[in-house]
Structures are given as C-alpha cells and as structure tokens.
Amino acid sequence: MSHAPGDASPSLTIAIDGPSASGKGTLARRLGARLGYAVLDTGLLYRAVGKMVLDRGQDPSDPDAAAVAARGLATLATAARLSDLALRSDAVGTAASKVAAYAQVRAALVDFQRAFAARPPPLPDGRRAGGAILDGRDIGTVICPEADVKLYVNANLAERARRRAQELRLSGHAVPKHEVLAAMQERDARDAGRAVAPLHPAPDAFIVDSSHLGPGELLERALAIVRGTIVRRACSI
C-alpha cells in the first residue's frame, strides 16, 4: 500500500505508542515511508528538553528548569535539532523520562504535537504529506485521542533489553545487558506510574506484540490494520 498526492486513500492520523525498544520507532519510520506520511518521534522532543537541561548544567529533576527548557524548545524544534545523535544517549534518555513526568513540560509540547497531526509538514523530498504518524507514549490517550488508527506496540522485557543493548553496541556505546535491563525496568516503572499521561494503551488501540516479529513483519501487521480502517471508513459512508 502506498500513498501519493492524488491517491484515493484518505488522509489519516496514526498514533503509535509503546515502551522503549518495542519497535514502535522503526515501525513509524517504515510506515511513514510506505504511506508517504510525515512522521514525528515525540520521544525526541522530551529527549531534547532533557538534553537542554543537562547542557545548562541543571538538574532534570527540577520541574522549573525542565518547564523553561520545554517552552523554549516548543518554539525552536526543528528537524535538525531533533536529529542530533546525542539525543540517543542513555544519559539523555534518563533525563527525558524525568522531565516527561512534569505537567508543565507536557503542556508546553502538546500544541506542537497536535499541530503536526493536524497540518503535517512536507516530506523531506518536498512532496505533500498524505497524513501524519506520531510515535510516543501518550499519543492515542492524550495528544490525539481522536486518531484514526491507534497502535500500541509492545515486546517482552528481555527482548527489548536485547534490542537496546545491540543498538548501543552498534553505536559504539556498549553497555552490559544486565545494566540495560535494570535501566529499562526503572524507565518502565517511571513511565507507567507517573501522574500525568502514564504509559498505557488507549481503550480502542490495536495491541501488537513485536517480541517475535521482524521489522518487515511488524510493518505488514500495521499495514493490515490501516487497510482495515480505510475499508471500514469507506463502508460507513
């Protein structure tokens, strides 16, 4: 299934949520490429806030410092800023999960995310985007509760830790698997237990377990769900 400007396929907003290393980011990018949709990795917004706090020598556990950084980022977020490889470090990831727990930070970034969904920017090659895909932890529950398609991608903890350890090793930052596992457990608990926008599937989300799926298989599973949504929408007209 492909989408180009002139296709009869409707423009959709697709929400993809799930924990770290579940495969949701890879899925969002591959699905966006297949459909011709603009893709926003919203986790990078929180990583960028965390990095700004760290770069200023401040503590990510300070809600005021985090809120100031988030308000600044909301007006400065660009593709170049969000593609900074330093955002992928474990230190920044830890900072991101801390700042993401603050209501002021999430509120500062809500409008940016919703505007992306409502008015997707052009694709990198200049073509008009056929729709929007947002990848995060609260897209289907908070940011875009009316999204046309909601996916919640999960995988067992051991598999997610294996994927994350491999990713770090390939990037030249090898970390023992037991340390990755411990950090991931801590992150999961923090994400699921925070008072504001905790991580959980939307009631109407399609749950996809990627534990034993390769990227291609996961993509085909998601495409089948998207196709089904388009068919149901056409039949209801």
**Which pLDDT score, from 0 to 100, does residue 14 have?**
98
Q: Tell me the residue range of the domain where 113 lies.
A: 13-231
Does 134 fall in a domain?
A: yes
Contact 187, 97 (CB under 8 A): yes
CATH code, 72:
3.40.50.300
Q: List, as one string, the DSSP characters of 1-62.
A: ----TT-SSPP-EEEEE--TTSSHHHHHHHHHHHHT-EEEETHHHHHHHHHHHHHTT--TT-
In a domain, 237, yes or no: no
Confidence of residue 135 (pLDDT cuts 50, 70, 90): very high
Report how many domains make up the chain. 1
pLDDT, tens digit, for every residue of 12-35?
Answer: 999 999 999 999 999 999 999 999
The confidence band for 149, taking pLDDT boundaries of 50, 70 and 90, is: very high
Note whether residue 2 is domain-resident: no
Structure confidence at residue 93 (pLDDT): 87
| Most confident of the following: 38-47, 73-82, 144-153, 185-194 | 144-153
Residue 236 lies in a domain: no
**Confidence grade of residue 2 (pLDDT, cut at 50, 70, 90):** very low
